[in-house]
Every structure is written in structure tokens, then in C-alpha cells.
Amino acid sequence: MTNDEKIAIALKSDYLSELSVFEMLPNSRMRSGFDRRMKKMISESYTDTAKTVRRRRVKLRLAIAVIIAATAALATGGTILLKHWDTFAVKENDKYSVILISDAEDSPQCITRYYEPDLDKTAYATRLIEKTEYAYIVEYINKHGKQLIFTQCTRSQMENAQIGTEDAQIPPEKVELGDTSAMYCVSKKGMAFLMWDNGEYMFHITATGFGRDELFRTAMSIKELSAD
């Protein structure tokens, strides 16, 4: 076990339980030293390819990133806002936003039913990125450069995931998808991000070239894959 892993295990619960304290801190930019260390730690990868080990280490890298973000905010006074949805919350600060999942351990730990958006397969080239019992990721792209990446995963896989919201055109906001509460934001570079919980699994879409209404219609078209 590396020193980083030992630090993450020792500090994860303490930092996650006390993140709410940082909401009252004044707004400030992160120091460049903290920012560099954060990016370095987030970009680190591990070489073990065993499935169970990979899942544990991915979660651990996310935990380390959360710890570094919390430490940076504490040291520099970075503002952190907590926004709640039905089954998840978003810790939004100046650089990154962290997804917090409620009842992750009480939800399905493996995918037994797969879903996908109802897109015109003749208009989009489709690339399967991953299909496991924990995540299903598909990319759709057309000749005009419109791109959409659809992800379905278990709640526990989404827990402590991060999205880049620095200088976002639209910061994380609550929107309605039928009777479901979803999180929508648009990054600094114009990439749209939509995330919601269907009661069993977490879904999220990242898209470029899609208008807001078109993106929402695509999300509403999600349907269960038929058995082959």
C-alpha cells in the first residue's frame, strides 16, 4: 500500500464529514501550489488491471482528490456550495464540483438492466467505450461534429466523482426531466452535462453541439435495451 493510499484511507471519512464547514468560508482563489498538486494527484493512474482492484483504486483516487480539494479550500478560503437533488448532492467550489450520493450502499451494486438513448443510429456513429456490471458507456457522434457520451453506472461508482465547473457558463442547476430531478450544467468550453437517478442507477450525458431542449429530449428518450 502506497503512502497516498494510506493517507486517503485515514483522512477520507474525516474530510467528507466536515465538508459542510467550508460552506461558510469567504471566496478566494486556490493557491497555485495546491492546484498543481491536485491536478497531479487526479492524473495519477495505477497499473493493476484486476477488476476488483481497479474499482477499489479508482474509488481511492477519487477519495484522494476530494481530500486535496478540501485541504486547498481550508487553506485558502475557497467557497464551497452544497446543492441538493433527490438522491444526490453537488459540492460546488471554485475549481471542481464533487458528486455526493445518498444510500449508495443500499442501491444495486451491479447493473442487471442496461439502458440507452433513442438516437437515430443511421445518423450517428456509435462506439462502445465500456460495458461491465458496474458501468455502461457509449459514444455517439455524427458527421457534423455533434457528440454525445451516455453513461449508466451504479450509484456507488458515481460517489465522489468530480466535474470541472471552473468558470462554467451555467453552474450546476436543478432541472426537471418528467418527474425526475436532474442536474444540468455547461462547462467553460460549452460542453453540456446532465445527470439524474432513475431509482436504480445513475445516468449522465455529456454533449457538444446539442441545444438544451434537444439534450433534454434525448435524456427523456432513454429506454431499456432489449435482450439479444
Same-domain check for residues 18 and 102: no
List, in order, residues 6 or more apart from 206 with CB less than 8 Å away.
148, 149, 191, 192, 193
Q: How confident is the model at residue 37, as a pLDDT? A: 56
Please name the amino acid found at residue 132: T
Same-domain check for residues 18 and 106: no
For the segment 38-51, the average pLDDT, to the nearest whole number, is: 47
Are the CB atoms for 68 and 41 separated by under 8 Å? yes
Same-domain check for residues 205 and 221: yes
Residue 136: name the closest of 87, 200, 203, 191 by CA. 203
Q: Which residue has the higher pLDDT, 199 or 113?
A: 113
Q: How confident is the model at residue 25, as a pLDDT? A: 46
Q: What percent of the chain has pLDDT over 90?
A: 26
Same-domain check for residues 66 and 88: no
Q: What percent of the chain has pLDDT over 70?
A: 58
Question: What domain range is 53 assigned to?
Answer: 1-77
Same-domain check for residues 54 and 140: no
Q: Is 203 helix (H, G, I), strand (E, B) or coil?
A: strand
Instruction: Tell whether the model's pLDDT for residue 74 goes beyond 60.
Output: no
The total of structural domains in the chain comes to: 2
For the segment 94-105, the average pLDDT, to the nearest whole number, is: 72
* Segment holding 9, helix H or strand E: helix 3-17
Same-domain check for residues 103 and 47: no
How far is 64 from 160, CA to CA, in rounded Å?
10
How far is 19 from 91, CA to CA, in rounded Å?
8
Are the CB atoms for 104 and 159 separated by under 8 Å? yes
Decide which of 77, 96, 114 is a domain's last residue: 77
Instruction: Tell whether the model's pLDDT for residue 20 goes beyond 50.
Output: no
Same-domain check for residues 10 and 37: yes
* Segment holding 18, helix H or strand E: none
Same-domain check for residues 61 and 121: no
**Beta bridge partners of residue 84, listed in sequence order:** 89
Angle, vertex CA 85, rays to CA 137 and CA 105, nearest 5: 65
How far is 122 from 138, CA to CA, in rounded Å?
16
Same-domain check for residues 55 and 108: no
Decide which of 41, 62, 77 is a domain's last residue: 77
Same-domain check for residues 119 and 198: yes
Instruction: Return the minimum-mean-pLDDT range out of 76-90, 140-154, 169-183.
Output: 76-90
Instruction: Tell whether the model's pLDDT for residue 214 goes beyond 50.
Output: yes
Q: How confident is the model at residue 220, as a pLDDT? A: 93
Q: How confident is the model at residue 53, as a pLDDT? A: 43
Same-domain check for residues 56 and 98: no
How far is 185 from 207, CA to CA, in rounded Å?
11
Mean pLDDT of the chain: 72
Cell, residue 227: 435482450
Q: How confident is the model at residue 132, as a pLDDT? A: 92
Same-domain check for residues 51 and 102: no
Decide which of 77, 107, 126 is a domain's last residue: 77
